A and B are shown apart, each in its own frame.
Chain A
Amino acid sequence: MALSLKNSINIKKKNRIIDKITRGGLLIPTILSASFVILIVFFVSMRGVSPFLNSQYGELSVDFIRFISGTTWYISPNIYGIFYIIINTLYVVILAALLAVPVSIFTALFIAKMTPRLISGFFKTVVELLAAVPSIVFGVFGLGVITGIVKNIAELFGTQTAGGISTLSTVIVLAIMIIPTITLLAVTAINAVEKDLEENSLALGATKMQTLFKVTLVKSKSGIFAGIILGIGRALGEATAVSMVAGNSGTGPNFNIFNTTRTLTSTMLLGLKETTGLDYDIRFSVGIVLIVLIILTNLILNFAKKKIGRFS
């Protein structure tokens, strides 16, 4: 008896040690997973800062002030400018959001509130599938179909486009790509509105649409706005499809929707030939600007979200 008790204490001790080892062992992959964010920031920054440092490129180092304020992408041999690219990126993304948000909210209302379950399930699946379509496929579709439509629209207005490659095409492609993101989050937000609240509105003699617009949407605006923030983040970082229809204009900013444009991501992706040297490293600098822009936009929009969600 005494022996077995002692044994069992020993086993318990051993077990505790085993558990400690397991816990320690599991901490390694966890820290590794978490470390990638730091790796990204650190190494991309290192590489992206190098074009501005004399030590790396000597005479050919890039002037940071001209870089951040420039309105021409490249003047040989070492002058780069991305101010206009930042402006164009924001312009394109804002237009895309303006296009996508009403469509997304309407679609979400339709899915969540206006159809029997079978039809709403079908439409939700459609949106989910749209969300799963890869960027490159939207790029092919954009270049093959949307640029053609835009070209025709431009001709209606009596303007010429570079074969439809333009700000408008970029905006449409981006809008298509963020509609599923915003819609799916909006559906979740709208479904979370208590039925009680809507019944209260109906009992006051409001029509169904008045209830949806004045109560349901108002109540869910915080959640919908979260979807919009996510969508805008996606749009800012979207690269492949955008690069295929943007046209990479050399100077700017350009606000004419039928002219070509240039986004930070299209700058990074297009004209990639060498994998060393200044022209390659400067793309890392553009990458840093993109990261900063995304973080800033997120902060501002989240601040706005707090203001908007005041009453709910």
Chain B
Amino acid sequence: MENINTNTKNVFKIKNLNLSYGSKSALQNISMDIPKNQITALIGPSGCGKSTLLRTLNRMNDLIDNCKIKGDIRYEDNDIFEKDYDVIGLRTNVGMVFQKPNPFPMSIFDNIAYGPRCQGIKNKKTLQEIVEKSLKNAALYDEVKDRLRDSAKELSGGQQQRLCIARAIAMEPDVILMDEPTSALDPIATAKIEDLILELKEKYTIVIVTHNMQQAARISDNTAFLLMGDLIEYDKTDIIFSQPSKEKTEEYITGRFG
């Protein structure tokens, strides 16, 4: 089950992952591989551990004090929990887009240039190019090209979320993790982001947590269904939504609980 694409390369290889906050277990014995240049969706009811799993992939759970992790995650065949592992490097390769669009309190330009600047890029022309390219890739350039120096807070919610995607793209990552990126947006903005995600698939590996099963069905190649910290089923999206092998999965996708 854990390996569903034998013919593609896997970016992440997760083996026997257990995670707990203090004494409360959040993930149990998760094993799954995430194939390159595909969209993998994590679905399940609230509190099932899908966001926790996502945040483990770029080690954002490090920030939580009493978080304990056992098991093994390999990114490009390197163990990310190894003692001297370069977490900052991991995060530059694995970008993340959060649930709530959250631009930094600075101009649109500075928001996009933030990551590259943190890496030490100072050349104005280089930054200009990066910003332009990222905004174009995030399908935002035409809407904001005349006001790059304005505060990012002045953008609409959907634009802000695309800005956050552009900000992640600016780092030229291999993987983009998305944590319910459309849950705070209206349907029109959501549709735009979904189109964008499908476009981004060409270049990036995308892992998306979503609460919205239609969304998972629409855009993802593979879907993993989690329940109470267990990985119930993981397969091609069309299989999960047409003939799930587990009863729980079927109950969930047909809307009987959740």
Contact = CB atoms under 8 A, between A and B. Distances in A.
Decide whether A and B assemble into one complex.
yes
Interface of A: 194, 196-197, 199-207, 210, 214-215, 218-219, 310-312
Interface string B106-127: 1100000011001100000000
B105 A204 contact: no
A204 B165 CA distance: 11
Given A199-B63, A205-B91, A214-B114, A310 B102 contact: no
A201 B104 contact: yes
Interface in B151-192: 151-153, 164, 167-168, 171
A300 B217 CA distance: 57
B151 A204 contact: no
* Residue in B98, B104, B107, B153 whose Cβ sees the most chain A Cβ within 10 Å: B104
Contact of B118 (A196, A205, A311): A205
Interface string B85-102: 000110110011010101
B104 A197 contact: yes
Contact of B104 (A200, A202, A203, A207): A200
A200 B171 contact: no
B134 to A, nearest CB: 12
Given A203-B58, A204-B168, A205-B119, A196 B100 contact: yes
B60 interface: yes
Contacts of B91: 202-205
A311 B167 CA distance: 17
A230 to B, nearest CB: 22
Given A197-B102, A204-B171, 11 more contacts: A196-B102, A200-B96, A200-B167, A203-B58, A204-B92, A205-B88, A215-B104, A218-B104, A219-B104, A311-B107, A312-B105
Given A206-B114, A207-B88, A200 B102 contact: yes
6 contacts: A199-B60, A201-B104, A201-B118, A204-B114, A205-B171, A218-B104
Nearest to A221: B105
B151 A310 contact: yes
A204 B115 contact: yes
